[in-house]
Structure 1
Amino acid sequence: MQGCPGGARRGGGWSRTRPPLRRRWREWADLRADSRAFLTPWEPTWPADALTRAAFGRRLRRQAQEWRDDQGYSFLVYDRATDRLVGGLGLTNLRRGVAQMATLGYWVGQPYARNGYMAGATRLVLDFAVGQLGLHRVGAACLPTNAPSRGLLEKVGFTHEGYARGYLRIDGVWRDHVLYAILREEWQG
């Protein structure tokens, strides 16, 4: 098992990333529930049981298996000063061999959006991706209308690479996405 990223300075505080823990379910479910209207325009449709303890347990088991199999690495993001959950991010679709790449995905709770938490956490995960995992490339995609997400990616050094039609099914509809990536030699961690 690889090590995981720690803490990074953000604005007036710090963000910290950690693998999800079963005991943090209620905090995770509450933040997701309170931010549902904010998140659903940008995410796949939530199943009916999305916020239940059982669903969270299944999610953690799947993520632990992906971690063991070197297929994905998921983290929750916390305010370092308060230990309050602010969001989550992960490296998924990890490919080894000649590719050495993964896809970055992330979400932030509405009360914490646009406060620098995800920029700090993304930098930590990029350090992990390049330093610990030895990846050459990390890609990301977002809806063309998601200006804050595009801004985050550009702020941490991703390059806009293209446009993918019908790329992901978001909120029940196949949606176009803009594609970004950062290469190992471009990362200024």
Structure 2
Amino acid sequence: MRVPFTNDYREWAVVRGESRAFLEPWEPRWTPDELDRNAWRLRISRYREDYAQGTAIAFFIFEKSSGKLAGGITLGNIRHGVSQSGHVGYWIGERFGGRGLMTDAVKVVARFAFDTLRLHRIEAACIPDNIRSIRVLEKAGFRREGLLRSYLRINGIWQDHYLYARIADDPPGVGTKD
């Protein structure tokens, strides 16, 4: 894993483009210029600004055997003070799904958040029908805390989401569906 660079554009656009139908049900509606180079530059600029402000850190995930870009994960909405929390969001290319790459990445980002950033809590939200994402979070030690009604506008529709969280002193094992 590493932060995205401007020269990652081509590989990012290919993985996102070939995975569009796979990703669209779980993401905000794509803009017509979603995969354009200019939109990419704006995305990289936002990643850098967020990092400089201490509010988010974006990472790219690479397949070890091939070195190919497989997906991305962001620790965002980082808050210090009394909250000491953040929110994790992620995506993976369709051909890389089901291999445990995202579960491993979520675990790494959680450890980074707890050990390096000294956060106390990390949250994640996923659509109740997104069984793969639920599996990722639970294998990474997150616990389901409840249902957020009409939480995010995903693919053009306001969608309910499960709220998951992991606390710094939670054991790293499989989460429960409390």
TM-score category of the 2 structures, normalised to the smaller one: over 0.9
Matches of 1:175 and 1:124, distance apart in 2: 28
Q: Which amino acid aligns with 2:68?
A: R
For the residue of structure 2 that corresponds to 1:145, the secondary structure is: coil
Matches of 2:7 and 2:171, distance apart in 1: 34
For the residue of structure 2 that corresponds to 1:94, the secondary structure is: strand
Answer 1 or 2: higher relative contact order, Cα 8 Å, separation at least 6.
1
For the residue of structure 2 that corresponds to 1:186, the secondary structure is: coil
Question: Quick check: which one's strand share is greater?
Answer: 1
| C-alpha distance after superposition, 1:40-89 (max 9, x if no partner) | 00000111111011111100111111111100010110012321000000
Are 1:156 and 2:134 an aligned pair? no
The answer for unaligned runs of 5 or more in structure 2 is 174-178
State which of 110, 135, 150 in structure 1 corresponds to 2:94: 110
State which of 47, 62, 68 in structure 1 corresponds to 2:46: 62
Are 1:127 and 2:80 an aligned pair? no
Deviation at 1:124, TM superposition (A): 1.1
Structure 1 counterpart of 2:24: 40
Matches of 1:55 and 1:84, distance apart in 2: 22
Matches of 2:136 and 2:103, distance apart in 1: 6
Structure 2 counterpart of 1:6: none
Q: Which amino acid aligns with 1:78?
A: F
For the residue of structure 1 that corresponds to 2:28, the secondary structure is: coil
| C-alpha distance after superposition, 1:132-163 (max 9, x if no partner) | 11100000000000111001100010000000
| TM-score for the superposition, normalised by structure 1 | 0.89
Matches within 5 A, 1:137-148: 137-148=121-132
Matches within 5 A, 1:49-88: 49-88=33-72
Q: Which amino acid aligns with 2:53?
A: D
Deviation at 1:188, TM superposition (A): 3.2
Deviation at 1:105, TM superposition (A): 0.2
Deviation at 1:187, TM superposition (A): 4.9
| TM-score for the superposition, normalised by structure 2 | 0.95
| C-alpha distance after superposition, 1:73-120 (max 9, x if no partner) | 101100123210000000111111100001100000000111111011
Question: RMSD between aligned alpha carbons?
Answer: 1.0
Would you identify which runs of 4 or more consecutive aligned residues in structure 1 move more than 2 Å?
Answer: none
Structure 1 counterpart of 2:162: 178
The answer for unaligned runs of 5 or more in structure 1 is 1-16
